C-alpha cells in the first residue's frame, strides 16, 4: 500500500497574512494620480469664481447677516449668547484640536505615516487661513457702520476705505477648524473611497455649521466661511501632493 505524502511546506495562517496586508495598506502613504489633482483644480477654480462673485456682489452676505441683526438695539442679539459661544465657539473647536493631537501622538507611537500626515494636514488648513486673516483689512460685521460699529465695509478686491476698522476677519478662522476635518479623506482613500468622501463631506458640514454659528453672532459673513473652506482644502491638497511625492521619490 502506498501512502501519499504532501511535500509542499505548510502555508502560514491566513490571519497573519491578512493582518500584514492591512498593516501595509493603512500605514504607508500613497500617491494620488495626476487625474485626481486635475479634477480638484477644476473644482477649486469653479468654486473660486463663484465665491469671488458672491464676495463682490455681497447681496447674499448682507441678506443673511441682516436676519440676525436687530436694528432697534443696533446689535446682534446672539453675539454674547452663552450657549452659542460655549458649544459652537469653544467646545467644538477644543474637541477638534484635542482629538487631532491625541491621534497624532497615537500615529507617532504606532509609526503610522498616513495617520501622522493626516493629522498634520488638519493643522495645515487653519494655519493657512490664520495667515491670510492676519493680513486682511476686512473687518467683522459687528465692527461695520451698518451694524452699529465704526468700520467701513468694502467688497473683495475693492479699494480699502479710509476707515477699514480693525480688520483681520477674512477668511473665517473659526470655520476653518471644522473644514480642517476634510483631511480625513486622505486617511481612508483609496482603500475605502466611500468612507473617504463621507469624511470629506462631514468636514464641509462641520465647517459650515461652525461658521454659521459665527454668522449668527455677527462675527463673519457667509462668504468669509466659504473662502475658509476653499483655502483649507487647497492647502491640504497642495501639502499632501508635495509630501506624498517627496516620500515616494525618497523610497525609490
pLDDT digits (tens, 9 = 90+) for 160-186: 999 999 999 999 999 999 999 999 999
In b/e form, how buried is each residue of 64-95, taking b as 16+ CB within 10 angstroms? bbeebbeeeeebbebbebeebeeebbeebbee
- Cell triple for residue 13? 495562517
Question: What's the pLDDT band for 24 if we cut at 50, 70, 90?
Answer: very low
- Which has more confidence, 17 or 69? 69
Give Rg (Cα) of the chain: 24
CB atoms within 10 A of CB 226: 25
pLDDT digits (tens, 9 = 90+) for 3-22: 444 444 444 444 444 444 44
pLDDT one-digit tens code per residue, 149-165:
999 999 999 999 999 99
Residue 248's pLDDT is 79
Mean pLDDT of 129-141: 97
pLDDT at 144: 97
- Global confidence as pTM: 0.88
For residues 155-169, one letter each, b for 16 or more C-beta atoms within 10 angstroms of the residue's C-beta and e for the rest, the string is: ebeeeeeeebbebbb
3-state secondary structure at position 174 = helix
User: Residue 247: its pLDDT value, please?
Assistant: 83
Q: What pLDDT sits at residue 56?
A: 97
Spell out the long-range contacts of 116-119 with Cβ–Cβ below 8 A and sequence spacing 24 or more: 117/29, 117/186, 117/240, 117/243, 117/244, 118/183, 118/184, 118/186, 118/187, 119/183
Q: How crowded is residue 146: how many other Cβ atoms within 10 Å of its Cβ?
A: 15
Read off the C-alpha cell for 131.
Answer: 495667515
Amino acid at each position: 500500500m502506498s501512502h501519499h505524502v504532501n511535500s509542499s511546506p505548510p502555508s502560514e495562517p491566513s490571519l497573519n497574512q491578512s493582518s500584514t496586508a492591512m498593516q501595509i495598506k493603512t500605514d504607508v502613504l500613497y500617491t494620488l494620480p495626476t487625474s485626481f489633482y486635475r479634477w480638484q483644480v477644476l473644482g477649486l477654480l469653479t468654486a473660486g469664481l463663484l465665491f469671488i462673485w458672491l464676495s463682490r456682489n455681497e447681496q447674499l452676505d448682507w441678506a443673511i447677516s441682516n436676519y440676525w441683526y436687530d436694528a432697534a438695539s443696533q446689535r446682534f442679539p446672539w453675539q454674547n449668547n452663552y450657549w452659542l459661544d460655549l458649544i459652537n465657539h469653544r467646545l467644538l473647536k477644543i474637541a477638534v484640536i484635542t482629538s487631532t493631537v491625541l491621534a497624532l501622538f497615537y500615529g507617532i507611537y504606532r509609526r503610522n505615516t498616513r495617520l501622522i500626515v493626516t493629522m498634520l494636514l488638519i493643522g495645515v488648513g487653519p494655519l493657512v487661513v490664520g495667515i491670510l486673516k492676519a493680513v486682511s483689512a476686512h473687518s467683522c460685521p459687528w465692527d461695520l457702520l451698518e451694524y452699529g460699529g465704526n468700520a467701513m465695509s468694502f467688497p473683495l478686491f475693492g479699494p480699502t476705505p479710509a476707515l477699514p476698522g480693525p480688520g483681520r476677519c477674512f477668511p473665517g478662522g473659526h470655520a476653518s477648524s471644522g473644514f480642517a476635518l476634510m483631511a480625513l479623506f486622505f486617511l481612508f482613500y483609496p482603500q475605502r473611497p466611500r468612507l473617504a468622501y463621507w469624511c470629506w463631506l462631514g468636514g464641509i458640514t462641520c465647517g459650515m455649521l461652525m461658521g454659521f454659528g459665527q454668522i449668527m453672532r455677527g462675527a463673519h459673513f457667509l462668504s468669509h466661511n466659504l473662502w475658509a473652506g476653499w483655502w483649507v482644502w487647497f492647502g491640504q491638497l497642495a501639502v499632501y501632493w508635495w509630501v506624498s511625492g517627496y516620500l515616494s521619490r525618497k523610497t525609490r
